[in-house]
């Protein structure tokens, strides 16, 4: 965790920021110090030069007042220039002409006010003019001091009284040594400032690392440890400043997050235990059909693949479990598209070859914003239930067959009676003269008897077909022919009760996919219920219509069984499909329950279309249409 000598981007940024601030501050301070020192040195040089110029002026004025000649004054100028280390000393008359000069190049020179050297002072008003100025000459930089020579009373002997000044004394002092001294001092000051700046930058940077960066590195170390799953790590609290308060707040946040994670983990385990307590298989998938969660009941269906269940596509999981998954008929995909709960049946074969029937119910899962976030599927093993339903269907079928037994016996009595009558007539005519005289009568009796025997065989075959039960496979079924067959089978029962059965159907109804024996049993159950609910002299109708399917997959064919009986009360209507519910004395309460399951088995449904107490009931059973007819067909009515 020690990273004292490791420079990262933040360290470089801090060093750069500190350097900019320190260098900028020191540079600005150095500049101000340099200007102040330079001005001070130049002011001192000006003062010194001014004093020197005044001394020279006084000496020359005294010499002039003593009446000295020009050669003596010229010698004094040369002497003063040598003694005072002046660059040059010039004495100008009031017209600007050089009268005396220590520099031979300036002798007999005439100064004009318009010259740049003169404009340094004369560019300003007389009240603002300085007595000294720094000039850049050909031989170097000089500090020029200008001293006017006033016209006094003692000077009136040589100069006119009306003149204010008699001339000008110019003393040029070289500034080379002064400037070199200034530059030497400035270089030493710059070096000292730079060293001080480096020490200051290093000290501030070390202080930043010691009091800030190292503590931030501890934050980083603890944050990485917490991200790796070690929730026991905490940042050590040091001192009582802003960073230490941040450390306390960070540790409090980690404690809060740890508590929240523990609660979430406990809730997740509780949810997992709850899901595992359900016997039905449960699996949760996201919108891409990746498995998010599954309970033990679902994992047991997968065998050895349960460890690699999460994160895999549901189709891969279903294939590993031996569950057929048709992409075109996926309940989960249909659920996500429609937002409705979808129910389907699936067949699963385990590793031992055992076949199981599963009822799959896919329900949508919504996010907080109301959007579909996934789907949860519940897989229920209905193998035992299917077996029980099959046994109940067999029981109901046998009950229906038993109920038809009396009608069948009555149906057989009529042809058997005719056969007996014909046999008696043949017996009476045997051996008599009538037989020899009229053999056509004997042949007629024999023909009638043979026809009645064939009629008995037809009735027996139809009855045996009904008693054989159903096969589990779907097939193409002619519903109209099946309805007419069922109507003939129930004709005797209907005649006993004085009820007429009529089949009203188009001559060419579309073929449907169903189970022929199951369709017979469902229509027979509905027809017998309608006959028993009807009064003598009324009729029971079997009609057909095409309606739109609930899932928008097309249209279906619906057979309507309509009676004019007593109807169903409002409190009994929701319970008519419950097993063992019946209001009839001899009813088992299984007919409609079994019929509903048989209809759903071929992909159809059974419902109460309408009912009214005292006016009758209409039941409807639907069939998936295999093909839609291209033309309308005429309607036929068959009465039984």
Residues 606 and 594 sit within 8 Å (Cβ to Cβ): no
Q: What is the pLDDT of residues 333-376, one digit of tens each?
A: 888 888 888 888 777 777 677 777 888 888 988 888 888 888 88
What's the pLDDT at 539? 92
What's the pLDDT at 602? 84
The three-point CA angle 458-461-465 to 5° equals 140
What strand order describes the sheet that includes 281-286?
291-294, 281-286, 372-381, 355-366, 342-349
What's the pLDDT at 559? 93
Residue 294: how many other CB atoms lie within 10 Å: 25
Helix/strand/coil (H/E/C) assignment for every residue in 367-417: CCCCCEEEEEEEEEECHHHHHHHHHHHHHHHHHHHHHHHHHHHHHHHHHHH
Q: 10-181 maps to which CATH number?
A: 3.30.450.20
Low-confidence ranges of the chain (pLDDT < 50): 1-6, 305, 410, 470, 629-635, 637-640
* Cα-trace Rg, the chain: 63
What's the pLDDT at 640? 47
Helix/strand/coil (H/E/C) assignment for every residue in 131-167: CEEEEEECCEEEEEEEEEEECCHHHCCCCCCCCCEEE
What's the pLDDT at 524? 82
- If we measure between CA atoms, which residue out of 41, 105, 98, 58 comes closest to residue 74? 98
What's the pLDDT at 327? 55
Q: What is the pLDDT of residues 612-632, one digit of tens each?
A: 888 899 999 999 887 554 444
- If we measure between CA atoms, which residue out of 572, 555, 598 comes closest to residue 389? 598
What's the pLDDT at 540? 93
Torsional sign, CA 190, 193, 197, 198: positive
What's the pLDDT at 340? 86
- Rounded to an integer, what distance in angstroms lies between the CA atom of residue 171 and that of residue 84? 10
Tokens of 288: 């891409």
What's the pLDDT at 260? 87
- Rounded to an integer, what distance in angstroms lies between the CA atom of residue 207 and that of residue 190? 25
- If we measure between CA atoms, which residue out of 506, 513, 565 comes closest to residue 538? 565
Tokens of 337: 């598209």
Tokens of 212: 């800030």
What's the pLDDT at 6? 47
- Rounded to an integer, what distance in angstroms lies between the CA atom of residue 465 and that of residue 520? 10
Instruction: Give pairs for 1-8: CB < 8 Å, separation 24+.
Output: 1/217, 1/218, 1/221, 3/214, 3/217, 4/209, 4/214
What's the pLDDT at 500? 92
> With left for phi above 0 and alpha for psi between -120 and 50, is residue 635 left, alpha or beta?
beta
What's the pLDDT at 348? 74
> In angstroms, what CA-CA distances link 6 with 1, 221, 223?
11, 15, 19
Q: What is the pLDDT of residues 282-301, one digit of tens each?
A: 888 888 888 888 888 787 77
Q: 278-381 maps to which CATH number?
A: 3.30.450.20
- If we measure between CA atoms, which residue out of 376, 360, 388 comes closest to residue 301? 360
Residues 97 and 106 sit within 8 Å (Cβ to Cβ): no
What's the pLDDT at 544? 92
- Rounded to an integer, what distance in angstroms lies between the CA atom of residue 479 and that of residue 294? 44
What's the pLDDT at 629? 47
What's the pLDDT at 614? 86
Residues 549 and 626 sit within 8 Å (Cβ to Cβ): no
Helix, strand or coil, per DSSP, at residue 210: helix
What's the pLDDT at 298? 80
- If we measure between CA atoms, which residue out of 524, 526, 612, 606 comes closest to residue 573? 612
The fold of the 388-639 domain, in CATH, is: Heat Shock Protein 90 (3.30.565)
State the DSSP string of 481-498: HHHHHHHHHTHHHHHHTT
Q: Which helix (H) or strand (E) holds 260?
A: helix 242-277
> In angstroms, what CA-CA distances link 319 with 301, 302, 359?
11, 9, 17
Query: In the predicted model, what is the mean pLDDT of the chain?
Result: 76
- Rounded to an integer, what distance in angstroms lies between the CA atom of residue 553 and that of residue 625? 11
- If we measure between CA atoms, which residue out of 448, 574, 561, 470 comes closest to residue 520? 470
What's the pLDDT at 259? 86
| Surface-to-core class of residue 470, CB atoms within 10 Å of its CB (0-12 exposed, 13-18 middle, 19+ buried) | buried
Q: What is the pLDDT of residues 440-478, one digit of tens each?
A: 777 777 776 776 677 677 666 655 655 555 455 678 888
């Amino acid at each position: 965790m020690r990273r004292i000598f490791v420079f990262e981007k933040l360290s470089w940024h801090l060093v750069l920021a500190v350097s900019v601030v320190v260098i900028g501050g020191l540079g600005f301070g150095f500049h101000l110090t340099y200007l102040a020192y330079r001005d001070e040195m130049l002011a001192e040089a000006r003062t010194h030069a001014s004093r020197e110029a005044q001394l020279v002026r006084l000496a020359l004025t005294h010499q002039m007042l003593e009446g000295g000649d020009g050669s003596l004054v010229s010698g004094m100028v040369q002497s003063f220039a040598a003694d005072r280390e002046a660059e040059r000393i010039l004495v100008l008359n009031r017209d600007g002409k050089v009268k005396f000069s220590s520099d031979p190049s300036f002798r007999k020179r005439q100064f004009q006010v318009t010259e740049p050297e003169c404009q340094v002072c004369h560019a300003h008003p007389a009240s603002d003019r300085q007595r000294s100025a720094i000039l850049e000459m050909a031989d170097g930089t000089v500090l020029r001091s200008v001293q006017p020579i006033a016209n006094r009373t003692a000077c009136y002997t040589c100069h006119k009284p009306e003149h204010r000044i008699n001339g000008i004394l110019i003393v040029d002092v070289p500034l080379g040594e002064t400037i070199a001294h200034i530059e030497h001092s400035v270089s030493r000051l710059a070096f000292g400032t730079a060293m001080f700046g480096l020490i200051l930058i290093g000290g501030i940077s070390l202080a930043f690392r010691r009091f800030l960066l190292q503590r931030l590195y501890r934050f980083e170390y603890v944050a990485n440890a917490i991200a790796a799953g070690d929730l026991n790590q905490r940042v050590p609290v040091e001192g009582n400043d802003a960073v230490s308060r941040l450390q306390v707040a960070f540790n409090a946040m980690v404690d809060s997050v740890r508590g929240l994670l523990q609660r979430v983990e406990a809730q997740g385990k509780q949810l997992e235990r709850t899901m595992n307590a359900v016997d039905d298989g449960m699996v949760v998938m996201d919108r891409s059909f990746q498995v998010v969660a599954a309970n033990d009941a679902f994992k047991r269906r997968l065998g050895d693949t349960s460890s690699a269940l999460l994160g895999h596509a549901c189709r891969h999981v279903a294939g590993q479990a031996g569950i057929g998954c048709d992409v075109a008929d996926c309940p989960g995909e249909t659920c996500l598209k429609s937002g409705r709960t979808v129910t389907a049946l699936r067949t699963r074969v385990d590793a031992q070859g055992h076949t199981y029937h599963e009822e799959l119910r896919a329900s949508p899962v919504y996010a907080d914003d109301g959007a579909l976030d996934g789907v949860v599927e519940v897989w229920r093993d209905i193998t035992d239930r299917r077996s029980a339903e099959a046994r109940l269907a067999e029981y109901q079928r046998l009950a229906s067959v038993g109920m038809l037994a009396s009608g069948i016996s009555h149906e057989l009595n009529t042809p058997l009676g005719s056969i007996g009558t014909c046999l008696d007539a043949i017996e009476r005519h045997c051996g008599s003269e009538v037989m020899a005289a009229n053999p056509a009568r004997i042949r007629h009796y024999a023909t009638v008897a043979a026809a009645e025997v064939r009629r008995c065989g037809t009735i027996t075959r139809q009855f045996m077909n009904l008693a054989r039960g159903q096969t589990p496979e779907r097939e193409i079924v002619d519903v109209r022919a099946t309805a007419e067959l069922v109507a003939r089978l129930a004709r005797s029962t209907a005649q006993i009760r004085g009820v007429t059965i009529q089949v009203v159907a188009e001559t060419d109804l579309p073929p449907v996919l169903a189970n022929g024996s199951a369709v017979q049993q469902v229509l027979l159950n509905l027809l017998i219920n309608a006959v028993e609910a009807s009064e003598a002299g009324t009729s029971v109708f079997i009609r057909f219509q095409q309606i739109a399917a609930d899932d928008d997959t097309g249209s279906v064919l619906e057979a309507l069984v309509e009676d004019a009986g007593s109807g169903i009360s409002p409190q009994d209507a929701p319970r008519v499909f419950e097993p063992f519910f019946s209001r009839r004395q001899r009813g088992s309460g299984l007919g409609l329950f079994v019929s509903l399951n048989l209809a759903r088995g071929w992909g159809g449904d059974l419902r109460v279309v309408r009912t009214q107490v005292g006016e009758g009931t209409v039941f409807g059973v639907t069939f998936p249409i295999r093909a839609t007819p291209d033309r309308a067909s005429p309607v036929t009515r068959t009465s039984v």
